[in-house]
Amino acid sequence: MERSVLVVDDSVVARMGMKKILKGFPLAVVEASSGEDALASLEAGLDPSLVFLDLTMPGMGGLNALRELRRRKPDLPVVVVTADIQKATIQEALEAGATEVLPKPAEGGAVLGALARAGLA
């Protein structure tokens, strides 16, 4: 079965950038435009191998989505991709259960590294 990656970002452009990087891999890329959408995808049966998650989003925001993802799927790798690169924010994300934190805009090498660490590349 083809494995999937869930990309959660309120910006269409940020999702486009991530999809472009992920293009060469045998992975189904599923998009969500908010934390709420991401959780709804899981409720609908999506079982991703990896999540790329933005933090600064309307609604519940990325951090709350991360905590909820972690509660529902403790072993799911969740890579936070954020423009907010303050030490305190990164620390907060890691404490909330992020597997790692990448700065925006996501760069190919960093994304490939995250895929490799998740066993997807």
Partner 1 sequence: MSGSSFDTLELDALKELMNVGFGRAAATLSELMDLHVVLSVPRVELVPIGELASYVANEVDDPKSFNVVEQFFLGKFEGSSFLLLPEEEGRRLVEMLAGEDADADSPLDSLERDTIIEIGNIIIGACVSKVAELLGDVVTYRPPRFATGALDRELLERYVKPGPGMALVMKTLFRFERRDVFGLLFLVTTDSGLGWLKRAVSSWLESLS
List interacting residues with partner 1 (CB under 8 A). 10-14, 16-17, 20, 56-58, 82-89, 103-105
**12 versus 40: smaller Cβ distance to partner 1:** 12
- Work out how close the CB of 79 gets to partner 1 at its nearest, in angstroms, rounded to a whole number: 16
- Work out how close the CB of 83 gets to partner 1 at its nearest, in angstroms, rounded to a whole number: 3
**84 versus 113: smaller Cβ distance to partner 1:** 84
**42 versus 63: smaller Cβ distance to partner 1:** 63
- Work out how close the CB of 57 gets to partner 1 at its nearest, in angstroms, rounded to a whole number: 7
Residue with tokens 């995808």: 41
What is the CB neighbour count within 10 angstroms for residue 50? 22
- Work out how close the CB of 27 gets to partner 1 at its nearest, in angstroms, rounded to a whole number: 18
What angle is formed at CA 55 by the lines to CA 54 and CA 59, rounded to 5 degrees?
A: 105
Q: How far apart are CA 36 and CA 58, in angstroms?
A: 10
**Three-state helix/strand/coil letters over 73-94:** CCCCCEEEEECCCCHHHHHHHH
Residue with tokens 């959408």: 37
**62 versus 76: smaller Cβ distance to partner 1:** 62
